[in-house]
Amino acid sequence: MKKILIYLLLIVVLVISVNRIMLNKDNNINEELKVEIAPIPEKTVELITLYFPDGGKQYLTRENRVIEHTVEQRERIILEELIKGPIDKEKIAVIPATTKLYSVVTKNGTAYINLSNEFKSDMQFGGNNEILAIYSIVNSLTELKTIKSVQISVDGEKEGVLQKYMPLDYAYKQNLSLVNNPIRTPIEVVKDYFNFIKNEDYRNAFDLLYNPSNVNIDYSMYYHFQKEQGVREYNIYSYEMIEYNEFIVVKFDYSEKTWTGDEFYYKNKEFKFINHYGEWKIVIEDLPKFFNNSIKFNNSP
């Protein structure tokens, strides 16, 4: 009887030992098979403002859009939404849908964008298209507080112009004057310029000028020059617009009358225009030279 109890005890101990070994083995297998599951990133819902041209391609309009993202770069999301085009049917897309976004990097307040060649080759040529395309991107990205300017390259190329007038070699700043305000043509700019001078609004007339960096005509110089001219009336008789690469020249036949009663006639007077941050500006390289070649007369031509 005693021997039987000993045998039974040994059997119990053996069973317990085997169970422990099997349990440890299972635990080891489970540890080896255990896979860490990454936590699901939280989605962020955000309201962004995009800029698209109106149906007539005369100006930019705003379109607010709600986006949902996780860790995606906001700059990339904005550009991808612009390429998708507007939701509002009264607005149109000016960036070709075939455009690919290669990269966007923001450094020291400037967003550097590299787009595929389709941005250039598939864009409709002429009109306000390249101005609106550039500023659709610039105004949308500069809505972000971290971005002050935008430089665009095409297939990594930063030289030349997008189509004809908008250079790729410098960074563009936000220009909200293009929003809901038709882009002024060079001829309209000259007419505005004449009206400002006639009304002695020299500040606004000066703002229509583009001063090359090597000239640097300041407002006080311009103000005193205009006061000496004393023009009180303009009459435009004819004009001709000639388009060149990167600038436009408008030739005017016009007359002006001064406050002293003198009248001058200008024949084929050239006004050179450059597109500066989306707006046409009159290039003034030398004030006296710009206002010479007049003919004094007493009667209208």
Beta bridge partners, 274, equal 281
Residue 67 scores a pLDDT above 90: no
Q: Are residues 223 and 107 in the same domain?
A: no
Please indicate, yes or no, whether residues 275 and 170 belong to a single structural domain of this protein: no
Number of domains in the chain: 2
Of residues 11 and 259, the one with the higher pLDDT is 259
163 and 215 share one domain: no
Least confident piece of the model among 5-19, 91-105, 137-151, 268-282: 5-19
Domain boundary among 147, 178, 209: 178
Q: Which long-range contacts (CB under 8 A, 24 or more apart) does 255-260 make?
A: 255/297, 255/300, 255/301, 256/231, 257/231, 257/232, 257/233, 258/229, 258/230, 258/231, 258/232, 259/230, 259/231, 259/232, 260/230
CA distances from 264 to 56, 187, 269, 298, 299 (A): 39, 20, 12, 8, 10
pLDDT > 70 in the chain, percent: 78
Q: Are residues 97 and 142 in the same domain?
A: yes
pLDDT (average), residues 133-150: 96
Residue numbers of the domain that contains 269:
186-296
Q: Are 210 and 274 in contact (CB under 8 A)?
A: yes
Give 288's pLDDT tier (boundaries 50, 70, 90): low
Task: Give domain status of residue 137, yes or no.
Answer: yes
CATH of the domain at 235: 3.10.450.50
Dihedral sign from CA coordinates of 261, 262, 266, 270: negative
Let me know if residue 128 belongs to a domain: yes
Give the number of other CB atoms < 10 A from CB of residue 90.
9
- The model's confidence at residue 274, banded by pLDDT at 50, 70 and 90, is very high
Mean pLDDT of 61-69: 88
User: What pLDDT, in 10s, does the model give residues 26-53?
Assistant: 555 455 545 555 555 667 788 899 999 9
The answer on 248 and 147 residing in a single domain is no
Indicate whether 9 belongs to any domain. no
Cα–Cα distance, 292 to 294 (Å, whole number): 6
pLDDT at 138: 97
Retrieve residue 76's tokens: 């990339």
Q: What is the pLDDT of residues 186-199, one digit of tens each?
A: 999 999 999 999 99
Q: Which of 212, 299, 285 is nearest to 257 (CA)?
A: 299
Among candidates 170, 108, 181, 116, which has minimal Cα distance to 138? 170
Beta bridge partners of 107: 110
Q: What's the predicted TM-score (pTM) here?
A: 0.77
Whether 282 maps to a domain, the answer reads yes
Domain end point (choices 123, 158, 178): 178
What is the distance between the alpha carbons of residues 253 and 238, in angstroms, rounded to a whole number? 5
**Does the CA dihedral 171-177-182-184 come out positive or negative?**
negative
* 48 shares its domain with 167: yes
What's residue 33's pLDDT? 47
Domain boundary among 162, 178, 194: 178
Same domain, yes or no, for 65 and 136? yes
Q: Are residues 134 and 168 in the same domain?
A: yes
Residue 72 — pLDDT band, cuts 50, 70, 90?
low
Smallest CA-to-CA distance from 252 within 293, 211, 217, 298 is with: 293
217 and 146 in a common domain: no
Q: Which amino acid is at 218?
A: D
